[in-house]
Structure 1
Amino acid sequence: MKIILASKSPRRIEILKKIGLKFTVRNHKHSEEHLNIKSPSAFVRICSKHKAESTVIREDELVIGADTIVYMEGKIIGKPISRESAKKMLKLLSGKKHIVYTGLTLIYKENEINGVQRTNVYFKKIEDREIYSYLEKAKYMDKAGAYAVQEEASLFIEKISGDFFNIVGFPVLLFSDLFEKVSGEKLYNVIWNR
Structure 2
Amino acid sequence: MKLTLGSTSPRRKELLEQVGLTFSIRTPDVDESKIKTRDPIEKVSALVKLKAAFLPFLSDDEVIITADTVVSYKQIIFGKPNNKQEAFTMLQALSGQTHVVYTGVLIRSKTKQKLLVERTEVTFFPLTKAEIDTYIETDDPYDKAGGYGIQGYAARFVEKINGDYTTVVGLPVGKLCRALVAFEAEFSTD
TM class by shorter chain equals: over 0.9
Take 2:175 and 2:121, find their aligned partners in 1: how far apart are those partners?
Answer: 16
Which position in structure 1 is the counterpart of 2:87?
Answer: 86
SS of aligned partner of 1:101: strand
Query: Share of identical aligned residues, percent?
Result: 38
SS of residue matched to 1:141 = helix
What are the within-5 Å matches in structure 2 for residues 1-194 of structure 1? 1-58=1-58, 59-184=60-185
Any stretches of 5+ residues in structure 1 without a counterpart? 186-194
Moved over 3 A (4+): none
Distance in structure 2 (CA, Å) of the matches to 1:174 and 1:47 = 19
Shift in Å, 1:138: 4.8
For structure 2, which runs of at least 5 residues remain unmatched after alignment? none
Q: Provide Cα deviations, 1:80-129, integer angstroms capped at 9, x if missing partner.
A: 01011000000000010000000000112301110100000000100001
Check the 8 A contact 1:30/1:50 in 2, yes or no. Answer: yes
TM-score, normalised via structure 2 length: 0.94
Note if contact 1:40-1:101 (Cα within 8 Å) is conserved in structure 2: yes
- Aligned-residue CA RMSD in angstroms? 1.4
Q: Contact 2:35–2:46 at 8 Å: present in 1 too?
A: no
Measured in 2, the distance between the counterparts of 1:161 and 1:40 equals 18
Q: TM-score, normalised by structure 1?
A: 0.92
Q: Secondary structure at the match of 2:171?
A: coil
CA contact (8 A) 2:65 2:107 kept: yes
